[in-house]
Amino acid sequence: MIRAGIYGATGYTGLELVKILQRHPAADIAFVASRSQAGKTLRDLFPAAPALPLVAGPDAPLDSVDVVFLCLPHAAAAETALVALAAGKCVVDLSADFRLRDAASYAHWYNHTHPAPELLAEAVYGLTEVCRAELPGARLVANPGCYPTSVLLALRPLLCSAVPLAGPIIADSASGVSGAGRTPALTSHFVEVADNFSAYKIGRAHRHLPEMEQAIGDWRAGAPPLLFSPHLLPVPRGILSTIYVTLAADANEADLRALYAAAYDGEPFVEVLPPGETASLAHVTTTNRCAIGLTLVGRTLILTSAIDNLIKGAAGQAVQNMNAMYGLDETTGF
Ligand SMILES: NC(=O)c1ccc[n+]([C@@H]2O[C@H](COP(=O)([O-])OP(=O)(O)OC[C@H]3O[C@@H](n4cnc5c(N)ncnc54)[C@H](OP(=O)(O)O)[C@@H]3O)[C@@H](O)[C@H]2O)c1
């Protein structure tokens, strides 16, 4: 049995992790930690949750676990990671703290000096379909952001091919409100969000941009720049990304489809949709799946990519990564 501890268990991604690990046949939850709710049980906060006792982060019994999941805000996650790593534990961090390899870029985008820049090179960027060979034995996994998971899985087969591209790549992504986490804020207030649909931090202003461009740069030297426009969708969960890529030469859709079919052949959680079908939240909500649609219009390839932000975009991918770290079938627990 893998013994797991969850920090930030009272948040949205933490609660999803509890749900998945509870039904996982090869993992046990050894502790759930909370900064502000220690002494209560998870059931006190979420009526459908198990009555696991919440412990304060510093009191969490690290000696009782093999791996910890950090469902914490950035900065708090890195501080906790350092403690867990020093205790010899493996860490799957759901925050952004170890996703960017460049500490200066992290400081720029997250307004915070990285407390452990020496660990950035070691952290495995946990887009499981891409990094699974690096996961067995990894000490520190940086679980990807939710928007990047949807955009990168859709772009990867194309970027890793020889198909010539003309820039820029344009990604319009719409996320359900749980993407903003559980802490109340005016921008995620029901009255502000319901019956509304709005874009925010458009173009090159969102923190997930450098994360996506880092991966894109790894996959294709000289790739076109990315324009990324997130939107707030008035549903609880789910992300739909619509991505426009201009090809530099004529292509046909069947060849592009063959590229995607080959790239994701046998992938348990990635489905390339048949011709004419576009991805939707209904393909993926409450699952660890990513659905990808392709449509070629002239020289523009339009990709649609849907995930559940809390599962494939967070807790589900974190467990998929844990499974690969410990040599289990990636689908265990799903
Ligand atoms: N929501 C998503 O779709 C999503 C997707 C991918 C990645 N992520 C990332 O995953 C992490 C967790 O996201 P979330 O949506 O679950 O957030 P959340 O709902 O706001 O939960 C975060 C939890 O962390 C605890 N916390 C808050 N500030 C803390 C601090 N300074 N020190 C220690 N604990 C603190 C809080 O619980 P207590 O007060 O009980 O301790 C809170 O419940 C974030 O880094 C987020 O960016 C989120």
Express each pLDDT in 220-240 by its tens digit: 999 999 999 999 999 999 999
pLDDT of residue 118: 95
pLDDT of residue 121: 95
Q: Which domain holds residue 55?
A: 2-122
Q: Quick one: which atom of ligand 1 is closest to the CA of 76?
A: 32
Q: Quick one: which atom of ligand 1 is closest to the CA of 34?
A: 41
Position 167 confidence tier, pLDDT thresholds 50, 70, 90: confident
From the CA of 70, how far away is ligand 1's center (Å)? 8
pLDDT of residue 203: 97
Asked if residue 161 is part of any domain, the answer here is yes
Give Cβ neighbours of residue 234 (< 8 Å, ≥ 6 apart).
177, 193, 194, 195, 196, 197
pLDDT of residue 153: 98
User: Quick check: 1 pLDDT over 90?
Assistant: yes
- Of 68, 69, 94, 150, the residue with max ligand 1 atoms within 8 A of its CB, to mutate for a pocket test, comes to 94
My answer on whether 22 and 114 are in the same domain is yes
Average pLDDT over residues 282-300: 98
My answer on whether 270 and 158 are in the same domain is yes
My answer on whether 50 and 93 are in the same domain is yes
From the CA of 21, how far away is ligand 1's center (Å)? 18
Asked if residue 129 is part of any domain, the answer here is no
Asked if residue 68 is part of any domain, the answer here is yes
Give Cβ neighbours of residue 23 (< 8 Å, ≥ 6 apart).
333
Nearest CA to ligand 1 atom 47: 95
Asked if residue 204 is part of any domain, the answer here is yes
From the CA of 237, how far away is ligand 1's center (Å)? 15
122, 155, 173 - which closes a domain? 122
From the CA of 94, how far away is ligand 1's center (Å)? 9
My answer on whether 196 and 259 are in the same domain is yes
- Whole-number Å distance between alpha carbons of 216 and 245: 13
Of 256, 327, 242, 324, which is closest to residue 288 (Cα–Cα)? Answer: 324
Asked if residue 43 is part of any domain, the answer here is yes
CB 73 within 8 A of CB 97: no
My answer on whether 169 and 301 are in the same domain is yes
From the CA of 96, how far away is ligand 1's center (Å)? 11
pLDDT of residue 87: 98
Q: Per the residue annotation, which of 90, 146, 160, 290 is the catalytic one?
A: 146
pTM beyond cutoff 0.95: yes
My answer on whether 74 and 154 are in the same domain is no
My answer on whether 161 and 274 are in the same domain is yes
CB 62 within 8 A of CB 83: yes
Binding-site residues, ligand 1, Cβ < 6 A: 8, 10-14, 34-37, 57, 71-74, 76, 94-95, 145-146, 178-179, 181-183, 309-310, 313-314
pLDDT of residue 93: 98
Asked if residue 134 is part of any domain, the answer here is no
My answer on whether 191 and 54 are in the same domain is no
My answer on whether 158 and 106 are in the same domain is no
CATH of the domain at 237: 3.30.360.10
| Sign of the torsion angle spanned by Cα atoms 86, 87, 92, 95 | negative
Split into its structural domains, the chain has a count of 2
Asked if residue 321 is part of any domain, the answer here is no
- Of 6, 7, 12, the residue with max ligand 1 atoms within 8 A of its CB, to mutate for a pocket test, comes to 12
- pLDDT tens across 106-155, in order? 999 999 999 999 999 999 999 999 999 999 999 999 999 999 999 999 99
Q: What is the mean pLDDT of the chain?
A: 97
My answer on whether 163 and 264 are in the same domain is yes
Burial (CB count <10 Å: 0-12, 13-18, 19+), residue 128 = buried
My answer on whether 187 and 300 are in the same domain is yes
CATH of the domain at 36: 3.40.50.720
- pLDDT tens across 184-220, in order? 899 899 999 999 999 999 999 999 999 999 999 999 9
From the CA of 280, how far away is ligand 1's center (Å)? 26
My answer on whether 165 and 290 are in the same domain is yes
Q: Quick one: which atom of ligand 1 is closest to the CA of 10?
A: 43
Average pLDDT over residues 54-77: 97
User: Quick check: 44 pLDDT over 90?
Assistant: yes
146 is catalytic: yes
Give Cβ neighbours of residue 110 (< 8 Å, ≥ 6 apart).
74, 75, 96, 97, 207
74, 107, 122 - which closes a domain? 122
CB 15 within 8 A of CB 9: yes
Asked if residue 14 is part of any domain, the answer here is yes
